[in-house]
């Protein structure tokens, strides 16, 4: 369907194309995802009607898939805002085509993190009691506070850099789209004053969002580590969770980038160098994650405390051993094997490693939540947890709905920040050159011609 | 249509005000019941300034951009420079 002015697009028309034209493949995928999400919604209504008894939750395993999903989704949310903000503050020029894809993941996935908590409640109507009678002594309420703050910050951080692109779309779209973009582009015209205000806002948010993001997953870890449960009460849980969150978030970002690159033919924007840079970061996070995991488990083993030993051996050699060793293979062995080798560090290889990490990190969250509850410190009978079709269906529905919403976002807004890419072309090269030049010692006059790259002799283009 | 430009800054400000109001309600509840006052003050003293930054963002950045857009549209103004949406100044 044609929704554009007949005016010619400029060189970046491939970035407008997904927004202004929709092919059959999108609708096919959307129908499938909607069907899975509808099945998940049916399972949830079934749970609402008959209560949490229809799930595999029991005594003592009172937390299962829903809390695993909550921790996993909140972790994925670190893909965007944190990575994007760090790269922006570091003036990493290669960030420009990837920031929007990352920030979108953050905002959308946070809704599913919050939703998982609501699904876990047998009586969601009682959620309002938190608002009325909440006690900020509880880490659960710290979570409510920090996640709400993070969601607000991430939404604003996604919206601000979107404004100039909304104006670009406003000038090209027709019908209801034109009205929508006009309303939310805030009358953007690209005047110097508007640029000044926008850049100031983005800079403030980039600084603010980093401590918020770190605090969110630290607070999520405190929900566990503030208890006396075996293998939960740990001082390294905060950084361990943050590391795992960034690790899984990067994997999600790589997969999202690969998907939009293939679906919308964005090979000229999302280049192998972007995947390679993220892969090296992912490899670093894989090793860091293994370091924390090893430290956590070695301390539990060496301490020899009975309750901790029960959880540890349930994971390593007991009923959770398949999941545990699968987690090690998926989070360490496969990423290491693929990404440490330059020949296998291709786009396909990196995406394979990222998919492996995503599954592995979900298993890691499962292994944090369930074995400890199944082997409690207090003298309760030990339990086992076996999720029912309701939990599987709701989980599948949540993932399907997330993917669907991400697809819909790419149909409403450019998934690559057009104005930032253009700015990179116009100013980035010169700024990067000047920045690198400022790092280097000042050459002795007469030994090095100004404006030339040492050892190369080629003049740097001036802008 | 130009009036719609104000919706987003107003929504952001209203949400921030509601959240700050909730924090104040938590403080009041904690004080009147003499219950976990230290925790409540600590959390509120971190969160309220952050939401005030969001208010600043709505007022200074978003409202400012919208006002600038309206100013350019005012009849009788000298002709604005060629619009460069998304371009650098």
Domains, chain A, in order of start with CATH, read 18-422 (1.20.1630.10)
Please give the pLDDT value at position B75: 53
Distance CA A405, CA A363 (A): 24
Binned at pLDDT 50, 70 and 90, residue A174 comes out as confident
B85 and A188 within 8 Å at the Cβ level: the answer is yes
Question: Over 90: is that where the pLDDT of A320 sits?
Answer: yes
Binned at pLDDT 50, 70 and 90, residue B21 comes out as very high
Residues of B in contact with A163 (CB under 8 A): 65
Sequence-separated (6 or more) residues with CB below 8 Å from residue B4: A182, A183
Please give the pLDDT value at position A2: 40
Other C-beta atoms lying within 10 Å of the C-beta of residue A40: 21
Please give the pLDDT value at position A176: 87
Q: Which long-range contacts (CB under 8 A, 24 or more apart) does A339-347 make?
A: A339/A279, A339/A280, A339/A282, A339/A283, A339/A286, A340/A283, A345/A276, A345/A279, A346/A272, A347/A258, A347/A272, A347/A275
Please give the pLDDT value at position A66: 96
Structure confidence by residue, pLDDT tens digits, B47-79 = 999 999 999 999 999 999 998 887 755 555 444
Q: Which of A59, A43, A109 is nearest to A392 (CA)?
A: A43
* For residues A235-262, average pLDDT: 94
Average pLDDT score, chain A: 89
Residue A152 in 3-state DSSP?
A: helix
Question: Over 70: is that where the pLDDT of A267 sits?
Answer: yes
A186 and B80 within 8 Å at the Cβ level: the answer is no
CB-CB: which of A183, A194, A422 is closest to B7?
A: A183
**Any CB–CB contact under 8 A between B89 and chain A?**
yes
**Any CB–CB contact under 8 A between B22 and chain A?**
yes
Other C-beta atoms lying within 10 Å of the C-beta of residue A214: 18
ipTM of the complex, rounded to two decimals: 0.86
Structure confidence by residue, pLDDT tens digits, A355-371 = 999 999 999 999 999 99
CB-CB: which of A190, A197, A418 is closest to B61?
A: A197
* CA-to-CA dists, residue A355 to A157, A217, B73, angstroms: 27, 22, 50
A190 and B40 within 8 Å at the Cβ level: the answer is no
Q: Picking from A61-70, A256-265, A300-309, A437-446, which range would have the lowest pLDDT averaged per residue?
A: A437-446
**Any CB–CB contact under 8 A between B76 and chain A?**
no
CB-CB: which of B4, B22, B43 is closest to A142?
A: B43
A197 and B4 within 8 Å at the Cβ level: the answer is no
Please give the pLDDT value at position A8: 39
**Residue holding tokens 């927004």?**
A19
Residues of A in contact with B15 (CB under 8 A): 152
Please give the pLDDT value at position A374: 93
* For residues A263-274, average pLDDT: 92
Sequence-separated (6 or more) residues with CB below 8 Å from residue A227: A233
DSSP string, A185-222: TTT----HHHHHHHHHHHHHHHHHHHHHHHHHHHHHHH
| Joined tokens for residue A308 | 């901790």
Distance CA A206, CA A75 (A): 19
**Residue holding tokens 């997904």?**
A18
A102 in Cβ contact with A84 (< 8 Å) = yes
């Amino acid at each position: 369907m044609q929704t554009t002015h007949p005016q010619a697009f400029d060189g970046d028309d491939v970035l407008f194309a997904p927004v202004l034209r929709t092919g059959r493949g999108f609708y096919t995928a959307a129908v499938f995802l909607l069907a899975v999400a509808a099945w998940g919604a049916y399972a949830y209504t079934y749970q609402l009607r008959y209560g949490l008894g229809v799930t595999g939750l029991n005594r003592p395993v009172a937390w299962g898939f829903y809390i695993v999903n909550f921790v996993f989704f909140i972790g994925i949310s670190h893909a965007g805002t944190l990575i994007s903000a760090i790269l922006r503050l570091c003036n990493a020029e290669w960030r420009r085509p990837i920031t929007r894809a990352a920030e979108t993941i953050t905002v959308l996935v946070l809704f599913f993190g919050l939703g998982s908590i609501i699904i876990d409640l047998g009586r969601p109507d009682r959620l309002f009691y938190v608002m009325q009678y909440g006690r900020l002594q509880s880490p659960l309420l710290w979570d409510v506070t920090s996640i709400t703050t993070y969601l607000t910050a991430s939404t604003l951080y996604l919206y601000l850099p979107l404004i100039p692109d909304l104006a670009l779309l406003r000038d090209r779209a027709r019908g209801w789209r034109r009205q929508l973009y006009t309303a939310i582009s805030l009358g953007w015209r690209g005047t110097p004053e508007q640029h000044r205000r926008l850049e100031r806002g983005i800079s403030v948010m980039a600084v603010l969002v980093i401590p918020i993001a770190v605090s969110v997953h630290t607070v999520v870890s405190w929900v566990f580590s503030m208890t006396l449960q075996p293998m939960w009460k740990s001082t390294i849980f905060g950084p361990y969770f943050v590391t795992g969150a960034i690790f899984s978030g990067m994997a999600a970002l790589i997969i999202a980038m690969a998907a939009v690159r293939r679906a919308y033919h964005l090979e000229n924007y999302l280049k192998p160098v972007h995947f390679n840079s993220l892969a090296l970061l992912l490899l670093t996070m894989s090793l860091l994650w293994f370091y924390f995991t090893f430290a956590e488990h070695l301390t539990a083993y060496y301490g020899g405390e009975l309750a901790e030993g029960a959880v540890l051996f349930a994971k390593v050699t007991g009923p959770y051993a398949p999941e545990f060793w699968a987690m090690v293979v998926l989070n360490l062995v496969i990423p290491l094997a693929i990404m440490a080798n330059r020949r296998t560090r291709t786009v396909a290889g990196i995406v394979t490693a990222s998919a492996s990490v995503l599954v592995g990190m979900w298993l890691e969250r499962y292994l944090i939540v369930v074995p400890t509850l199944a082997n409690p410190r207090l003298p309760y009978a030990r339990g086992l947890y076996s999720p029912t079709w309701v939990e599987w269906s709701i989980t599948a529905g949540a993932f399907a709905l997330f993917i669907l919403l991400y697809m819909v976002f790419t149909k409403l807004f450019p998934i690559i920040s057009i104005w930032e890419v253009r700015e990179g072309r116009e100013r980035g090269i010169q700024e990067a050159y000047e920045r690198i030049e400022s790092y280097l010692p000042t050459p002795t006059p007469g030994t090095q011609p100004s404006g030339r790259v040492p050892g190369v002799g080629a003049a740097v283009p001036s802008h | 249509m130009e009036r719609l430009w104000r919706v987003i800054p107003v929504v952001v400000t209203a949400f921030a005000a509601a959240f700050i109001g909730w924090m104040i309600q938590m403080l009041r509840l904690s004080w009147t019941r003499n219950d976990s006052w230290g925790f409540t003050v600590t959390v509120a003293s971190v969160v309220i300034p952050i939401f005030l930054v969001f208010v600043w963002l709505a007022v200074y950045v978003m409202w400012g951009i919208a006002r600038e857009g309206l100013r350019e549209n005012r009849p009788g103004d000298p002709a604005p420079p060629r619009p460069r949406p998304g371009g650098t100044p």
